[in-house]
Chains A and B, each alone.
Chain A
């Protein structure tokens, strides 16, 4: 049983080696829509066209061939011109219309091609597939290249690749630039210019005759209230300094309140003393 199978197999192999499909009388013609000056070139299974065939936007490529099985013209079941885009490997089959005599014909124009083909930077590769049932071998030889010539006056169709799940490009957030200060020299200069106004103020006061001559008199009249009044004003500035450096609002409010009460209480007495000096005509 097995032996007969093997023999059958061998016989089948031998038969297959013997018969195969082929094509003959193949030609390609490119015809523009208006004019009839078709460019016609012949090609065969073993001699593909070396020059690419140009296909303009209104042109039609017509491929004619005769399919043969073992040299006899016959109608194959499959007779396709397969056009392949080299970048993506995308293929489009164009079945030939075959007669009983094996004569096959197909017409291809730009609008029959998928959009990706029109945008292809490289020429398209065309091959002829001829095959059928039975033992005769099918063939698939490359036959010619097609160069798409797009009309510069018309817009190219747009092709958007369908969305596929996959990794996406990385995104890194671009941060706003940090705030910047002017050069330190300038800041220092103006800080000093501001600081210098204090001695300038004091000196101008002195020149206008400012003095502290009544200090002893005031301290002699009301020593405690003058010291606490002036001290509480200084302390208030201290409270503000603490607020600037470390304290928060709830820490300064009670302290400021206490200082204010002290200021009011001691101030009435101290300022009363100042008023008495004024009433005495000493000011």
Chain B
């Protein structure tokens, strides 16, 4: 009865919190709680996705990310604030601890306000570099909105971003069509070389970042912070514990006035709808673990030998055994689990490793269930005994990391598992030697016991001489 009740509770709980895989408590940090009216559509979208939003200013005393060592929020959204610091409740260390405790952070910056030191410190720890003057603006004299930024060219218009490499799942440009993303008055960042960092949206080739106060006349020589595609307008960092940090260069793109409005690009179609609402949904959805979250349902391996028992997940294998391995994967898509399909040009790989991989094999899709896809392969264990791991180490940009390790010993051949010596032709002389020794010995015994001397007299003389 109790188990049934707890099961029902579990089902209910999962039905209620089925929206994000890592909880629905969202903290929004902004200058003035009244400012949220500018972002009403964005917050309405979030609330529709069942987020419980708490609005706080950095000065508020009740603002705390941890209570008794536990996170009080699952996600934090920072909107631009005019203060230089964020106060004692949001130090870089607290934010760092928040990420380490699997909390997600969405950071919206703006060129109109300086970025608080605490956020700059957090970003520099993640190897995301903001312009040092903290007052920079990204402009592009080729791709701007000619209706709203005729003179200043600071509203960038960009097509929805396609994956930068082959084999990366496309989360952000699907269904965009000809719609453009408006990026008004934003800040560009430069990403380090780490593999955990990935840009979602990169600046166009002719864009550059400058300081409107100091470089109002022209950008000269060494003063250039970055230009072109090295400027990342929307950047992400997915930590090893799958916590996500996203830096959105322009908070203004989340405002109501840029949602579903129309813009005009130089030489483009006269009027184009903005993609901002959908893009904001996807970026926030990705950051708050609503998309791109993978899970392993189960792993199964067994002996694939004729006539041998094929129990699931046996405790041990022998060298040169044929082994079958199957892994079931699911992906979270906004509010439910679906089967995970490996993107095109990418492979899910199984490593059979002891210190270093002996086999690295591409897993093939075996069957597709309602909410899971099973990947499968069969291989022969190496001719080396030891403690091996079945290792699926699937880490890809924008997907949560999978590191599935199953340890299994591989024993050497037992003495009675080798081929018998009579099967080995090289052993025949030795077997013949054994047989002739046996026959010779028996003949000798018989002879020694029952042979009569040929010449009795001779024998006697021998005896006498002794």
Contacts and interface: CB of A to CB of B under 8 A. Distances in A.
A274 interface: yes
Contact of A129 (B206, B210, B454): B206
A205 B219 contact: no
B305 interface: no
B219 A82 contact: no
A283 B352 CA distance: 73
A77 B217 contact: yes
A16 B227 contact: no
Given A97-B220, A169-B360, A171-B358, A198 B442 contact: no
A164 B195 contact: yes
Nearest to B150: A12
B460 A212 contact: no
B357 A171 contact: yes
A11 to B, nearest CB: 10
B442 A237 contact: yes
Contacts of A138: 141-142, 206
Given A16-B146, A140-B142, A182-B426, A98 B396 contact: no
B146 A162 contact: no
Contacts of B442: 233-234, 237
A95 B220 contact: yes
Q: Which of A194, A197, A226, A230 has the most CB of B within 10 A?
A: A194
Nearest to B154: A133
A181 B320 CA distance: 21
Contacts of A250: none
B361 A213 contact: no
Contacts of A78: 141, 206, 208, 218-219
B360 A170 contact: yes
A195 B436 CA distance: 6
Given A133-B151, A164-B165, A170 B362 contact: yes
Interface stretch (B80-88, B282-290, B444-452): B444-452
B428 A213 contact: no
A80 B453 contact: no
Interface stretch (A31-39, A151-159, A185-193): A185-193
Contacts of A80: 208, 227
Interface string B244-277: 0000000000000000000010100010000000
B259 to A, nearest CB: 20
B215 to A, nearest CB: 8
A194 B141 contact: no
Interface residues of B, number: 77
Nearest to B357: A171
A244 to B, nearest CB: 8
Nearest to B398: A165
Contacts of B142: 131, 138, 140
Contact of B429 (A133, A167, A194): A194
B451 A202 contact: no
B378 to A, nearest CB: 13
Would you list the 6 A-B pairs with minimal beta carbon distance, nearest first?
A131-B141, A181-B426, A213-B452, A138-B141, A209-B454, A171-B360
23 contacts: A16-B266, A79-B219, A91-B229, A93-B228, A95-B223, A97-B221, A106-B221, A137-B266, A138-B142, A138-B206, A162-B193, A167-B347, A173-B380, A173-B383, A181-B427, A188-B428, A195-B436, A198-B439, A233-B442, A237-B442, A282-B453, A283-B452, A283-B459
Interface of B: 139, 141-142, 146-147, 150-153, 165, 167, 193, 195, 205-206, 208, 210, 217-221, 223-224, 227-230, 264, 266, 270, 320, 346-347, 349, 351-352, 357-362, 380, 382-383, 395-397, 424-429, 431-433, 435-436, 438-440, 442-443, 445-447, 449-454, 456, 459-460
Given A167-B362, A214-B451, 15 more contacts: A75-B217, A77-B210, A80-B208, A131-B142, A133-B141, A133-B153, A138-B142, A163-B195, A170-B362, A173-B383, A191-B428, A213-B450, A218-B449, A281-B456, A282-B452
